[in-house]
Amino acid sequence: MTTSAPKARRSRVKAEAAVESAAQAVAETVVADKPEAPAPKAVKAEPVPNLPARLAEVLLTDTPEKLAAEEAFVSLDRLVHAQFGKLGSSISPISMALAWGDWAAHLAISPGKQAELVWKSARKAQRLAAEILCQAAGGNGDVCVQPLKQDRRFAGPEWLKYPFSLYSQSFLLTQQWWHNATSDVHGVEEKHEKVVEFYGRQFLDMFSPSNFLPTNPHLIQRTAEEGGRNLARGAQFFYEDTMKRMTGQPEDPPEFTPGHEVAATPGKVVFRNRLIELIQYAPTTPAVHAVPLLIVPAWIMKYYILDLTPPESMIKWLVDQGFSVFCISWKNPDEEDRELGFDDYRELGVMAAIDAISAITGSEKVHGLGYCLGGTLLSVTAAAMARDGDDRLASMTMLAAQVDFTEAGELSLFTNESQLSLLEDMMWEEGYLDKEAMAGTFSMLKSQDLVWSKLVREYMLGERESPSSLGAWSHDATRMPYKMHSEYLRKLFLNNDLADGRMTAGDGHIYLQDIKAPVFAVATEHDHIAPWNSVFKLTYLLHGGVTFALVSGGHNTGIVAPPGSPRAKHRIMTHEPGRNHPAPEDWAKSVPKVQGSWWEPWADWLRATGGAVAGPDKAPPAMGNADAGYKPLQNAPGRYVMTR
């Protein structure tokens, strides 16, 4: 990430101020502690009485001067660490060094593992040589190794022909050998082993034959067909992108603008505070479901992932199905919001929204829907409400949301003490974590698709990515406030406080087991952020009834899968209290997939759950409630979604 000039100047000024403050504080401390010089005497000076006690008092007493000096020293360290974080793309070099050192040291004292790797290397080389000789002689040969199902880099018959089969097969065999080298090394910590395997895979992906013109048959064919014009276009795209990054030029105007092409479902902002805008959507049916629905998106994303262009807009679909829909739009925080913490997001966010919905609709119950970390926040809020005797939640819908983070996928590789301390120092300097840092981390998790394939397509094939509403949303990233980001990373990803019963909300502890509202949980099969096995733990940790749906697709594509999607499939399990829990893999194998979107069975579940507590449908509520202090402020999508 390229640091802009204003940020660089700000960092330099802060560093100089910290050094000056530390020096001044030390000077004042020395002067304050220095005893007055005795007047010159002709006779020999007497020893200072109780000298050890005086030294102890000077060294151990927390005077204001010493406390200022210590704070200045810490500030200087944090500024230096923040610069290291910027240079290293928010990755802790110490964390990586510890992982590689652990792996290398244990491999060095494991002659058996070394011999096994040599043996496997020889076998792979022998198999590859036999295949290439067969193809060189005019035969078809046998494929040594098949790419993983999700690896589409070597799709097509061209990769099975010599010499491209040599390139692809040797790369895949090397990738397979590296996995063997980083797995099952006796004595290596499991997390260190995964870190080494992950970064090793990232390094190997750089040298995939699909990334280079002479070794990629598709690139060679396209270049021949176009006479090299594709490379000229790619060079022009590369120049344009480089100049934008170097000069800080703004991105091109988006083709999908909130309020026009996306986030366009009609509605009103009926409540605003320093953290959220609450949007109430205009009804389109003569009667609505008796219980209103509150959507809590993750604060690391703009809410309109659920309000894309129809028919992909879940919000529009819900409104047309007769639901009274409300949605939180989080403010994109800046430096002034650095002290907003997790409890602020609960109180100023979810609880403030529930209060507003109750006042506007007059309903005693509210359906809650949380997406990703918004679902985690909703579960914390629900547990706190259960503790306090607040039973306004009629149900909870959890979309790709985790409450136990012990198996949080490859994202957990970025959560250890060294890494979190580095991120905290970066956020401490600016007051927030810049959106580019988060975007870079998520890109690394799917580097084949989000980095290398993208570079090949744009700079070698000369093709810009086709604009889409989901793609525009993914580039509309948000920042993370200092205190909030630090708290949720430590409490959830690092310490797993929520699942282990150590989480606090307000004035006391909360427990997931106290939640009695029925839950509909959705997980996606190919989720690289919230693995479905991890989401499945909801069925163990919540003591109420849980309906679990495993759907096709990834973290976003599986959720945004409206009725009519040709590739949408799902399978559903209902777990009632008192029944035994199945293992996730056993359950998945025993239940066949059903063609179609999960939206429709979920809507039926909402109607049944809400109807059981609030009765039949009723007339739509008014937009806002001025008498209760919730006067409509402006048309949706509001102000906060527009901030970048």
Tokens linked to 18:
């910290």
Q: Where are the beta strands (DSSP E) in 471-525?
A: 480-481, 504-505, 508-509, 519-524
What sign has the CA pseudo-torsion 313, 319, 323, 326? positive
Tokens linked to 506:
């307000």
Give the pairing type, strands 366-371 and 393-399.
parallel
Give 371's strand partners.
Answer: 399
- 372 catalytic, yes or no? yes
Q: What is the full DSSP assignment across 453-473?
A: HHHHHHHTS--PPPP-HHHHH
Q: For Cα atoms 301, 302, 304, give the angle at the middle one, nearest 5 degrees.
A: 125
Q: Which of 134, 144, 327, 372 is catalytic?
A: 372
Under 8 Å between Cβ of 614 and 290: yes
Q: Measuring CA to CA, which residue among 312, 334, 341, 313 is closest to residue 325?
A: 313
Sheet containing strand 569-575, edge to edge, reads 594-595, 569-575, 546-551, 519-524, 393-399, 366-371, 293-296, 325-330, 276-281, 267-272, 634-635
Q: What is the full DSSP assignment across 211-224?
A: GSGGG-HHHHHHHH
Go through the chain and tell me how many residues it has: 644
* Alpha-carbon gap, residue 443 to 71, rounded angstroms: 36
- Coil vs helix vs strand at 480: strand
Q: What is the DSSP letter of 350?
A: I
Tokens linked to 473:
């949303």
* Alpha-carbon gap, residue 222 to 203, rounded angstroms: 27
- Coil vs helix vs strand at 334: coil
Work out the widest C-alpha separation in the chain, in whole angstroms.
109
Question: Which residues are annotated as catalytic?
Answer: 372
